[in-house]
């Protein structure tokens, strides 16, 4: 069959994954001092793009050329419609990886990216990906791949197997119903004191979490025919055959060992000089379940002076509310306290810039930051990027056509919010990435773009026609006036707190109608 055992009965989630952004990939490598050869106008290929939201947002926030394939034709059609709405020339295929590997008309790529694919496909599909990377990734190019990893997934393997087997052999009806039946069956097994679950009591909690999770995610995570968590070393060795080498984690925080590695692990890790073994051991210390790895075809370790110059050339923009500056950060290693003498002045310096991006040198012009070293500011910025409070600025200024394409895509996303809250992101050209915007806020923007005089009335009528109500503190607001009042409160906060940020990152225009 064309789906090769991959769930195709229900659509994949409409998510945006910032790790796929060229700007973020470059920053992650720089955070580890790894050089690459990707310029400001990359030729980019995404393998298995799902609904295509990440592919299209990255395309309209970059000056490069973007390609993608997903063998699900409905998802390829959705991605193509988004590209049509933006007007950006995105090349979209509905081919399997095996079919794509056989094409002789593809260019060489600066970046090849695949998110949430590797662990859920057949060996033939993996071999095709390796072939594409080997033959189509340029020297100095970047490969991004994410996957389920052991040891974190090891105890849950039999749980997943039991869920999947019950769905395949005993459950009936459409896939989502089979998922619920499988969860109920495994609950019954646990309740009957099955020895495996008694010996692994944490799995009952995991099943309880699964029960609360979005069924689309659960279906694609647990119920595909192929499911292959692997240790990092095996992934590394497989991709070494395609001539790429591990460079960094695409999760910026994971590259900052001061917060991402337990204190008791650091001495052990310092004694390990082999990078592959070091990453493997680190996974054991934090019980890693999911890795987001960046490989480079021919990486080079940068000199400390090169890294210093590179980050001095960068700029950063404040996304969060400075009054809500994060005081702690939670990582796989636990919760770490952010040093107030460093993080507070950095955030204040960015806030005083009135949403304009600043370089490290400009940040140090603030008297309270002058006493900080460049390296202290650099690490603070990296961590703030990692938690989404700050964003790196793309190194390329987009053409007027590309900026217009980003606004057209955002208008289309907001238009679709009339029917669904599935795509809760907008393109942010300044950062070469996306910014999170909820459905109600998207509807506010759409009402404004349509020239509606009473935005609250417009949004409420739309929700009311669909039988939808707002929920406040866990309680559904049934009364129309209560819903209008809540919408008015949300609109006021949105206009004061979020609209200035959206304008600063280029997600909306300066004009009256925004798009």
pLDDT in tens, 70-97: 999 999 999 999 999 999 999 999 999 9
- What pairing do the DSSP bridges indicate for beta strands 328-331 and 300-301? unpaired
Nearest-angstrom CA–CA distance, 295 and 424: 29
Tokens of 482: 């209560």
- Least confident residue range of 127-136, 331-340, 437-446, 496-505: 331-340
Nearest-angstrom CA–CA distance, 102 and 256: 40
Tokens of 117: 């694919």
Nearest-angstrom CA–CA distance, 210 and 388: 26
Where is 109: in which H helix or E strand?
strand 109-114
Q: What is the mean pLDDT of residues 259-268?
A: 92
Our CA angle for 7, 9, 12, nearest 5°, is 65
Nearest-angstrom CA–CA distance, 482 and 460: 11
- Position 14 confidence tier, pLDDT thresholds 50, 70, 90: confident
Closest CA to 59 of 91, 27, 24: 91
Q: Distances in Å between the alpha carbon of 496 and those of 321, 348, 493?
A: 11, 19, 5
Where is 247: in which H helix or E strand?
strand 245-249
Nearest-angstrom CA–CA distance, 241 and 330: 36
pLDDT reported for residue 6: 47
pLDDT reported for residue 205: 93
Nearest-angstrom CA–CA distance, 453 and 339: 47
pLDDT reported for residue 8: 47
pLDDT tens-place string over residues 401-410: 989 999 999 9
CB neighbour class for 174 (10 Å; exposed up to 12, middle 13-18, buried from 19): exposed
CB 294 within 8 A of CB 29: yes
For tokens 């695949």, the residue is 114
39: three-class secondary structure by DSSP = coil
Nearest-angstrom CA–CA distance, 505 and 60: 13
Our CA angle for 438, 58, 7, nearest 5°, is 75
8-state DSSP, 428: E
Q: What is the mean pLDDT of residues 179-198?
A: 95
pLDDT reported for residue 216: 85
Nearest-angstrom CA–CA distance, 29 and 35: 7
- What pairing do the DSSP bridges indicate for beta strands 290-296 and 334-337? unpaired
Nearest-angstrom CA–CA distance, 413 and 267: 49
Q: For residue 505, report the phi and psi dihedrals to the nearest 5 degrees.
A: -90, 5
Beta pairing partners, 190: none
pLDDT reported for residue 12: 62
User: How many residues belong to the chain?
Assistant: 515
pLDDT reported for residue 514: 74
Sequence-ordered list of residues with C-beta below 8 angstroms from that of 209, at least 6 positions apart, any chain = none
pLDDT reported for residue 13: 72
CB atoms within 10 A of CB 84: 13
Q: Write down the pTM of the prediction.
A: 0.92
- What pairing do the DSSP bridges indicate for beta strands 475-476 and 390-392? unpaired
Q: What is the mean pLDDT of residues 232-255?
A: 97
Nearest-angstrom CA–CA distance, 507 and 413: 11
Q: Please measure the distance between the N-terminal and C-terminal CA atoms of the chain and give it in whole angstroms.
A: 43
- What pairing do the DSSP bridges indicate for beta strands 328-331 and 334-337? antiparallel
| pLDDT above 70 (res 5) | no
Nearest-angstrom CA–CA distance, 412 and 408: 6
| pLDDT above 60 (res 269) | yes
Where is 181: in which H helix or E strand?
helix 175-191
Which one has a higher pLDDT value, 510 or 504? 504
Tokens of 439: 């459905």
pLDDT reported for residue 332: 85
| pLDDT above 50 (res 2) | no
Q: What is the mean pLDDT of residues 120-138?
A: 96
Give the ranges where 45-112 is alpha helix by DSSP (H).
53-60, 73-86, 97-101
Beta pairing partners, 112: 45, 143
Percent of the chain clearing pLDDT 90 (strictly above): 89
- Position 275 confidence tier, pLDDT thresholds 50, 70, 90: very high
pLDDT reported for residue 512: 64
Nearest-angstrom CA–CA distance, 64 and 43: 6
Nearest-angstrom CA–CA distance, 395 and 23: 8
pLDDT tens-place string over residues 277-325: 999 999 999 999 999 999 999 999 999 999 999 999 999 999 999 999 9
pLDDT tens-place string over residues 435-464: 999 999 999 999 999 999 999 999 999 999
| pLDDT above 50 (res 130) | yes
CB atoms within 10 A of CB 484: 17
pLDDT tens-place string over residues 23-71: 999 999 999 999 999 999 999 999 999 999 999 999 999 999 999 999 9
Nearest-angstrom CA–CA distance, 32 and 420: 40
pLDDT reported for residue 100: 98
Tokens of 461: 């009528």
Q: What is the mean pLDDT of residues 216-237?
A: 91
CB 306 within 8 A of CB 156: no
Nearest-angstrom CA–CA distance, 394 and 302: 21
- What pairing do the DSSP bridges indicate for beta strands 328-331 and 137-148? unpaired
Tokens of 178: 């089979």
């Amino acid at each position: 069959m064309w789906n090769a055992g991959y769930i195709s009965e229900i659509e994949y989630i409409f998510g945006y994954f910032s790790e796929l952004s060229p700007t973020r990939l470059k920053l992650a490598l720089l955070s580890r001092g790894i050089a690459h050869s990707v310029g400001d106008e990359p030729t980019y290929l995404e393998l298995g793009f799902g609904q295509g939201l990440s592919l299209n947002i990255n395309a309209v926030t970059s000056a490069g050329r973007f390609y993608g394939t997903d063998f699900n034709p409905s998802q390829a059609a959705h991605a193509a419609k988004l590209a049509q709405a933006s007007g950006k020339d995105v090349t979209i295929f509905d081919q399997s990886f095996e079919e794509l590997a056989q094409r002789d008309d593809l260019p060489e790529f600066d970046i090849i990216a695949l998110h949430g694919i590797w662990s859920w496909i057949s060996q033939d599909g993996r071999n095709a990906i390796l072939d594409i990377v080997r033959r189509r990734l340029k020297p100095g190019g970047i490969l991004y791949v994410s996957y389920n990893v052991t040891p974190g997934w090891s105890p849950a393997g039999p749980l997943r197997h039991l869920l999947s087997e019950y769905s395949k052999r005993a459950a009936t009806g459409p896939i989502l119903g089979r998922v619920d039946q499988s969860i109920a069956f495994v609950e019954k097994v646990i309740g009957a004191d099955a020895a495996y679950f008694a010996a692994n009591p944490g799995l009952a909690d995991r099943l309880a979490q699964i029960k609360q999770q979005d069924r689309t995610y659960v279906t694609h995570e647990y119920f595909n025919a192929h499911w292959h968590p692997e240790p990092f070393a095996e992934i590394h060795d497989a991709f070494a055959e395609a001539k790429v080498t591990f460079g960094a984690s695409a999760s910026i925080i994971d590259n900052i060992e001061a917060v991402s590695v337990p204190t008791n692990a650091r001495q052990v890790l310092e004694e390990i000089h082999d990078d592959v073994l070091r990453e493997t051991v680190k996974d054991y210390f934090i019980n890693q379940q999911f890795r987001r790895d960046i490989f480079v075809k021919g990486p080079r370790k940068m000199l400390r002076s090169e890294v210093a110059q590179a980050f001095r050339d960068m700029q950063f923009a404040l996304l969060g509310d400075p009054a809500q500056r994060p005081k702690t950060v939670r990582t796989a290693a636990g919760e770490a306290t952010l040093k107030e003498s460093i993080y507070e002045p950095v955030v204040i310096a960015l806030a005083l810039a009135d949403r304009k991006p600043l370089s490290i040198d400009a940040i140090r012009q603030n008297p309270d930051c002058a006493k900080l070293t460049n390296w202290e500011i650099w690490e603070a910025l990296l961590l703030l990027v990692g938690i989404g409070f700050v964003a790196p600025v793309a190194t390329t200024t987009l053409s007027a056509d590309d900026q217009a394409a980003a606004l057209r895509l955002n208008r289309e996303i907001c238009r679709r919010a009339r029917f669904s809250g599935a795509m809760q992101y907008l393109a942010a050209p300044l950062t070469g990435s996306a910014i999170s915007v909820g459905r109600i806020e998207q509807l506010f923007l759409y009402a404004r773009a349509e020239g509606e005089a009473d935005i609250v009335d417009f949004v409420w009528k739309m929700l009311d026609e669909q039988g939808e109500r707002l929920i406040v503190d866990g309680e559904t607001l049934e009364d129309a006036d209560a819903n209008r009042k809540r919408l008015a409160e949300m609109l006021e906060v949105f206009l004061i707190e979020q609209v200035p940020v959206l304008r600063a990152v280029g997600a909306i225009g300066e004009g009256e109608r925004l798009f």
